[in-house]
Structure 1
Amino acid sequence: MRSTALAAAAQALTDAGSTQLILAALLGIAVIVVLITKFKLHPFLSLTIGSISVGALAGMQLKDTLTSFGTGVGATVAGVGTLIALGAMFGRLLADSGGADQIVDTIIRRATTRTLPWAMALVGALIGLPMFFEIGLVLLIPVILLVSRRSGLPLMKIGIPALAGLSVMHGLVPPHPGPLVAIAALNANLGITMALGVLVAIPVVVLAGPVLARYVARWVPVAAPALFVTSGAPASAAVRADGRTGGSAGTGTAVETLAPEAEVVTRRPSFATTLSTVLLPVVLMMGKALVDIFLPDTSSLRMALDFIGTPLVALLLAVLVAMFTFGVGSGMDRKEIAASLEKSLPPIAGILLIVGAGGGFKQTLIDTGIGGVLAKAIAGSSVSPLILAWVVAVLIRLATGSATVATVTASGILAPVALTLSTGETSLLVLAIGSGSLFFSHVNDAGFWLVKEYFGLSVGETIRSWSVMETVISVAGLVLVLLLGIVV
């Protein structure tokens, strides 16, 4: 009797602790949203205050909270931050050399206004296949902004399809690192998972990309900000969906020229040279993913590609190559190339701080144990394994803001379930987890802040565009996985 009472008391304390963690996470997120939207506090400060609030409400000691926040900031800046910096350098060289204009002109020349969103979805999917979302985003941003400006289409009609292509690859299709983690944890068949992943990804990209973009362009009628273009006389201004011209804030000011400064660039790099340089980091990272699958650990080729195919090295090599293909190839001398690289960093300083603070907030949430609490709360449920996998990933994604954390945690929890499933069902389990890991990105996700800052959006506009798109991808992915589950 006494042992039963003690067990009940212990369970009550555990339940109380779990409830406290859930409330702490919800209140911390609410603090961030209120500070940014109502009090107009800078997101970096809001995220910092929100992180401290979560730690305090969850019962963490102050020093532990600060340690978690600092660890998250450091890891994010060291990882995503360096990639953003290299991507900004690459993007600036691409813009200043006229290479971005070359891509834009070629795309617009070969695509109609109706087919441009579809072309951007394809570009986003191809770029996003071997790399994390943040890397693909910093590579695509100059192209997205200039295509929007040159075509006169609203930013969301161009940006949403490209983002959808990137995000779907991130969650559903090997050899992207996320699905590969789930495949390994669940012992799924790579070939079957890849085939089913592509089968699900194509309609999801179509729905969350070009189709959804028509509506998002009405909900968020903004034009492309002047992040990767040079200043000059007004050019063909991009038009907002409400009929006004100007920047993302809708001020009615003239849009900057799309062409690089005449005194810097004497000629454009060719389309073939530009495309080859842009795809260089993609090829290197794709090569790494493929050799990791097909070659043994002792292979010399695998060891070489494991090094040069890491995102940091691949982007570093891309910047070095771009200094020649974009810089020298467009007639720049060494001083002009150095000046272009130098000018690339100040505009992203705020982005780095915000993304870093977002990483700190995410790490604070993780260290409180909220992800584990949410996962264990439904692990014993009797619902369909596919729905269960999706729900577990969704809850961890909402709590931590990390699709990777959601994928890894959900895969670990569902591993025992996978042992009872067929080969095809196990592959669908991987896709269900991947779909859930993309659900409703919000203020604790670095991707949320990247999109917000690069596109010059408010928090509300980012939720109505990026967050809605991520939710559509997640739900559509689950529906298609369940339909495939009927026949697989």
Structure 2
Amino acid sequence: MPLVAVGAGVLLLLFLMTRLKLNGFAALLLVAIGVGLVQGIPVEKIPEVLAGGIGDQIGDTMLTIGLGAMVGRVMGDSGAAQRVATRLVDAFGQKRVQVAMVVTAMLIGVTMFYEVAFVIIVPVAFTIVRVTGKSLLWVGLPMSIALSTMHSFLPPHPGPTAVAATFHASAGLTLFYGLFIAVPLGALIALAWPRLPFVRRMNPSIPKGLVSERVFTDEEMPGMGWSLSVALFPVVLIAGAAVTEMTTSGSNTLLHTVAFVGSAPVALLLTLLLAIWAFGPRIGRSLSEVSASCTSAAQAMAMILLVIGAGGAFKQVLVDGGISDYIEEVTHGWSISPIILAWLIAVILRIALGSATVAVVTASGVVLPLLAGSGVHPEVMVLAVSCGSIAFSHVNDPGFWMFKEYFNLSVVEALKARTTYTTVLAVLGLGGVLALEWSLDALAL
């Protein structure tokens, strides 16, 4: 049975990554080769299948992921991200510091990866804790929850971007739709979770010597106007193109230009150029300093790109081996919603593999046949898979350990705080995705 091969492959991948601690890129390639052999793909064809899958996946995602990382690093190294955070805290006041952290994290987290944004904002959170005497989790947990939501739900982050490419969905529309789900749900959980009794009983201290990133003085940071403008620039371009696409029919040079500028890679490239000037020569930083920031960002993203590429190879093996056709045949008469099924597959893979990026890339290959003929909007299916990948963050998730160490928690405390909020986000996200699909169908009538 083809699904046995998929199940065995997933179990083997889990064993290689969790028990043997094998690198995700190598593990995915090994499993892809094994599944390909079991499914009867000729040995001489397997390298071609792997290369095709990697090429398709990387070709669609490398520009977006690489440029997004560079924008985030340039903003962080110039102090622009810190400027946005501190000014928002001043604006909201100490009593509403959680709201300030949520707003800051969501603004910065739209274009920055979770780890990058976390490291940039967490020194500000530590400073707020010292000044106000608030609990570390009271200030820091809303930030982490908001960043998790942005990173897992929305392009241009790696998982949603990769799935959008697989489903041939519009990255702009996915971002536009996703904001209506991610922002209210992320804010709700971010503000509610620190107030839960089992979280309030935790009272960790600020870890010593863990944060070595530079904290800028007020004179060293760029102005608020430039900092906020650059952070929001790609969102305006991408969302603007999506709105234009939704509200305008026909074809002309202007619409083609708007679509071009609003595509994720071009929008982020323009943002990077703006950031290089705004946070480089304009404020007295040399181009070599800004270039060093870009280089560091690219190096940090190298392994993510390799993992995404290997996930594309695994997906291609499933398709070429006939497993996708088998899944389509088996699920054809099922009464379960394809949205729920896609979400559930992503949840299972997330629990098993830990990495949300690996989970969504692998799940997208498995559920790709469900999209054809289902009538579900591809952008909605992207969000279903993406929000499923948030669930059950635990000890096989690198983000779990980063959360644990920065907030100075025990493993049990981290499981109570992080695993619970990621799971609730995934469940509520599924409800939001179902409501979104219903709304889109109602508007189409």
| Shared fold, TM over 0.5 | yes
Q: Which amino acid aligns with 2:360?
A: G
Q: Which residue of 1 aligns with 2:42?
A: 61
* Among 332, 335, 338, the residue aligned to 2:291: 338
Report whether the alignment pairs 1:441 with 2:382: no
Instruction: Answer whether contact 1:73 1:357 (CA < 8 A) is retained.
Output: yes
Shift of 1:278: 1.6
Q: Which amino acid aligns with 2:234?
A: P
Q: In structure 1, what is the Cα distance between the partners aligned to 2:267 and 2:219?
A: 28
Shift of 1:274: 1.0
Q: Which residue of 2 aligns with 1:28?
A: 9
The one-character-per-residue Cα deviations of 1:62-120 (angstroms, maximum 9, x if unpaired) are 34333332223223332322222212221221112110110121233334677555556
The one-character-per-residue Cα deviations of 1:166-200 (angstroms, maximum 9, x if unpaired) are 65567xxxxx996xx8999xxxxx9xxx99x9886
| Identical positions, percent | 23
Report whether the alignment pairs 1:352 with 2:302: no
Instruction: Answer whether contact 1:124 1:163 (CA < 8 A) is retained.
Output: no
Match of 1:103, SS state, is helix
Report whether the alignment pairs 1:146 with 2:107: no
Shift of 1:273: 0.8
Q: In structure 1, what is the Cα distance between the partners aligned to 2:266 and 2:341?
A: 34
Report whether the alignment pairs 1:401 with 2:375: no
The one-character-per-residue Cα deviations of 1:454-485 (angstroms, maximum 9, x if unpaired) are 97999x9899479636632444437868999x
Q: In structure 2, what is the Cα distance between the partners aligned to 1:296 and 1:483?
A: 23
User: 1:439 and 1:167, CA in 2 relative to 1: closer, same or farther beyond 3 A?
Assistant: closer
Moved more, 300-309 or 206-215: 206-215
Report whether the alignment pairs 1:83 with 2:64: yes
Q: In structure 2, what is the Cα distance between the partners aligned to 1:208 and 1:63?
A: 51
Shift of 1:290: 2.1
Shift of 1:146: 2.3
Instruction: Answer whether contact 1:56 1:62 (CA < 8 A) is retained.
Output: yes
Instruction: Answer whether contact 1:285 1:314 (CA < 8 A) is retained.
Output: yes
Moved more, 372-381 or 22-31: 372-381
Q: In structure 2, what is the Cα distance between the partners aligned to 1:183 and 1:81?
A: 16
Q: Which amino acid aligns with 2:214?
A: L
Instruction: Answer whether contact 1:362 1:401 (CA < 8 A) is retained.
Output: no
Q: Provide the TM-score with structure 2 as the length reference.
A: 0.70
Q: Which residue of 2 aligns with 1:243?
A: 204
Shift of 1:203: 5.7
Q: Which residue of 1 aligns with 2:427?
A: 472
Report whether the alignment pairs 1:389 with 2:389: no
Q: In structure 2, what is the Cα distance between the partners aligned to 1:117 and 1:361?
A: 41
Q: Which amino acid aligns with 1:28?
A: G
Match of 1:332, SS state, is coil
Q: In structure 2, what is the Cα distance between the partners aligned to 1:355 and 1:273?
A: 33
* Among 67, 86, 92, the residue aligned to 2:73: 92
* Among 312, 315, 324, the residue aligned to 2:268: 315
Q: In structure 1, what is the Cα distance between the partners aligned to 2:169 and 2:307?
A: 32
User: 1:325 and 1:412, CA in 2 relative to 1: closer, same or farther beyond 3 A?
Assistant: same
Instruction: Answer whether contact 1:98 1:268 (CA < 8 A) is retained.
Output: yes
Q: Which residue of 2 aligns with 1:327?
A: 280
Instruction: Answer whether contact 2:338 2:374 (CA < 8 A) is retained.
Output: yes
Instruction: Answer whether contact 1:118 1:210 (CA < 8 A) is retained.
Output: yes
Q: Which residue of 2 aligns with 1:40?
A: 21
The one-character-per-residue Cα deviations of 1:303-324 (angstroms, maximum 9, x if unpaired) are 1112222111111111111111
Match of 1:40, SS state, is coil
Instruction: Answer whether contact 1:287 1:309 (CA < 8 A) is retained.
Output: yes
How big is the alpha-carbon RMSD for the aligned residues of Structure 1 and Structure 2?
4.7
Shift of 1:25: 1.3
Q: Which amino acid aligns with 1:468?
A: T
Q: Which residue of 2 aligns with 1:279?
A: 232
User: 1:371 and 1:304, CA in 2 relative to 1: closer, same or farther beyond 3 A?
Assistant: same
Q: In structure 2, what is the Cα distance between the partners aligned to 1:442 and 1:151?
A: 23
Structure of higher CA gyration radius: 1
Instruction: Answer whether contact 2:237 2:267 (CA < 8 A) is retained.
Output: yes
Q: In structure 1, what is the Cα distance between the partners aligned to 2:51 and 2:30?
A: 13
Instruction: Answer whether contact 2:53 2:314 (CA < 8 A) is retained.
Output: yes
Residue segments in structure 2 that go unaligned for 5+ positions in a row: 127-135, 156-160, 350-358, 406-410
The one-character-per-residue Cα deviations of 1:376-401 (angstroms, maximum 9, x if unpaired) are 323323x4xxx423344336656883
Q: Which residue of 2 aligns with 1:50?
A: 31
Q: In structure 2, what is the Cα distance between the partners aligned to 1:294 and 1:482?
A: 18
Query: Relative contact order, CA 8 A, sep 6+: which one is greater?
Result: 2
Q: Which residue of 2 aligns with 1:370?
A: 323
User: 1:24 and 1:39, CA in 2 relative to 1: closer, same or farther beyond 3 A?
Assistant: same
Instruction: Answer whether contact 1:104 1:146 (CA < 8 A) is retained.
Output: no
Shift of 1:37: 1.3
Instruction: Answer whether contact 1:44 1:353 (CA < 8 A) is retained.
Output: yes
The one-character-per-residue Cα deviations of 1:10-66 (angstroms, maximum 9, x if unpaired) are xxxxxxxxx2x2111111111121112111222222122122222223332334333
Moved more, 366-375 or 201-210: 201-210
Report whether the alignment pairs 1:414 with 2:399: no
Report whether the alignment pairs 1:258 with 2:214: yes
Match of 1:53, SS state, is helix
